Structure 1
């Protein structure tokens, strides 16, 4: 079956962000720096430290990231949110409270008209997250 995985772009702070997300979600984390790539040795030491590819793999999802920003620079907007379908009410609250650290709760966790819980936030790295749980 096809699987969709979020791939986030950062502006030099991919390692910090992915380490933060790993502390929130657990799983296995991996980093590949630009210096680890075949072309990396041709670049400055500072560039070699940037993350070419990072991933966090759990049983249910993979979250990927990079510091490789396109020429126009990093543009963050509210056009995309990362939707987390939680397995329990406790999981929803746990993830929400961990990810909102130094961020902003845009939509506090509330019960919807259908009885589900829904909440949204923007994390400290400018990424938008939505959390959902239906009993």
Structure 2
């Protein structure tokens, strides 16, 4: 079986962002700090405080993230969105509210022409989320 997991890159605020996503989706959140990695003694203290890898797991949802930005720096584009499907209306409405806090509601959560609830959010970290409940209940 092949699975695909979104892997976010942040610039020093990975812990904050992943904790925010845990509040939105629930699940188990784990962090591996740069300070815990081999050869960390050779790195400056500010880099040791960065997150090497984070994972948030809730049922079939797996979000991965890091603070390790490539030399060219971090840029946000609009070519990738995270599609999250829900199984009940309360869950999608609650997540829509939480993800949009401090962000932008780019499409209201409403009944779509295909019969499901659908809405879009750009969160406060600049990431795009598509939230769907396939058949409105």
**Paired position in structure 1 for 2:114:** 114
Residues in 2 aligned to 1:64 and 1:2: alpha-carbon distance in whole angstroms: 16
Aligned residues: 135
Q: Any residues of structure 2 matched to 1:95-114 within 5 Å, and which?
A: 95-114=95-114
Report what 1:81 is aligned to: 81
Residue 27 of structure 1 and its aligned partner are, at CA, apart by 1.0
Alpha-carbon offset, residue 47 of structure 1: 0.5
> 3-state SS of the aligned residue for 1:3?
coil
What runs of 5+ residues in structure 1 fail to find an aligned partner? none
Distance in 2 (CA, whole Å) between partners of 1:73 and 1:129 is 23
Q: In the TM superposition, what whole-angstrom CA distance separates every residue of 1:32-75 from its partner, at most 9, and x where no partner exists?
A: 11111002111111110000000011111110100011111111
Q: What do you get for the CA RMSD once the two structures are aligned?
A: 0.8
What do the CA deviations read for 1:72-111 (whole angstroms, capped 9, x no partner)? 1111011100000111111111111011111110111121
Matches within 5 A, 1:1-135: 1-135=1-135
Q: Secondary structure at the match of 1:79?
A: coil
TM superposition outliers: structure 1 runs of 4+ over 4 Å: none
Q: What is the CA-CA distance between 1:23 and the residue it aligns to?
A: 1.2
Give the distance between the partners of 2:117 and 2:26, measured in 1 at CA.
23
SS of residue matched to 1:106? strand
